[in-house]
Amino acid sequence: MKTKNLIATTLGFAVLAGAAALAQTKPEDTEVWTPTPPKVAPAKDAGGAPSDAVVLFDGRGLDQWVASQDKSPAGWTVADGVIIVNKARGNIETKRSFRDYQLHLEWRIPADIAGAGQARGNSGVFLASTGPRDQGYEVQILDSYENATYVNGQAGSVYKQHPPLANASRAPGQWQTYDIIWRAPVFGADGALAKPATVTVIHNGVLVQDNAVLAGETVYIGKPTYKAHGPAPIKLQAHGDPSAPISFRNIWVRELAPRP
Ligand code: MG
């Protein structure tokens, strides 16, 4: 009799607990209203930038850029709203430094491009420049429309680290877009790597790097390694190959809050 009562009482509590749980499953229980995301006005047209972007080139001049070599005014050519690489003047980089960001840029291989492999429209965007030459983390720019080379060196690759997931290249003469999400590496106070860099790249609307984890800075020969650095400029490459120089336009960046 006592046991029966206990079972009955236990069952009663279980029913009550179940009812209480049901009472907490209103749709409102899982709605979050604050904090509200900041308002960002999207670009008015395809070539524009969102309202909170730092515009790095809008067709008018290179005032946001300097020569990587000596920080003198960037010596690349601006004509008809477009930047044309001047290989003799070396790499250029942003005056400002960035940590984590979303970057948009557009580039065009000349219609009459000649050459083969890595010597055919080679440039690149270094997501954090750590020196005046090719130090940093390079997303490759190259004519990869019909141009065989090592796959971890074609357009959309993280140079010598990650081949692109697809070849989304347009033919020479057409404008191409990169939309890049860069999460810089995090270093401890002792300079040791705490969190590697990651990058997502969308090439002409096609995902080519999906949160790829970097093993270190880009190197031409040997294995990549990390060395500690803070916020850094974004750098564009003046590659030494003899093919005709490529062009850039519509470059903007949105700084992102650090990863939690
Ligand atoms: Mg390159």
Domain layout of the chain by residue ranges: 54-255
Cβ pair 139, 125 in contact under 8 A: yes
Q: What is the pTM of this model?
A: 0.90
Whole-number Å distance, alpha carbon 92 to ligand 1 midpoint, is 13
pLDDT tens, per residue, the chain with 260 residues: 444 554 445 545 555 555 555 567 899 999 999 999 999 999 998 889 999 999 999 999 999 999 999 999 999 999 999 999 999 999 999 999 999 999 999 999 999 999 999 999 999 999 999 999 999 999 999 999 999 999 999 999 999 999 999 999 999 999 999 999 999 999 999 999 999 999 999 999 999 999 999 999 999 999 999 999 999 999 999 999 999 999 999 999 999 999 77
Whole-number Å distance, alpha carbon 203 to ligand 1 midpoint, is 16
Whole-number Å distance, alpha carbon 8 to ligand 1 midpoint, is 76
pLDDT given at position 260: 74
Beta strands in 75-220 (DSSP E): 77-79, 82-84, 92-94, 101-108, 123-129, 136-141, 175-183, 186-187, 193-195, 198-203, 206-213
pLDDT given at position 57: 98
Whole-number Å distance, alpha carbon 189 to ligand 1 midpoint, is 32
Whole-number Å distance, alpha carbon 153 to ligand 1 midpoint, is 8
Whole-number Å distance, alpha carbon 69 to ligand 1 midpoint, is 17
Cβ pair 52, 244 in contact under 8 A: no
Fold of 54-255: Jelly Rolls (2.60.120)
Whole-number Å distance, alpha carbon 127 to ligand 1 midpoint, is 12
Give CB contacts under 8 A, 24+ apart, made by 188-196: 191/227, 191/228, 192/228, 193/226, 193/228, 195/259, 196/226
Whole-number Å distance, alpha carbon 154 to ligand 1 midpoint, is 9
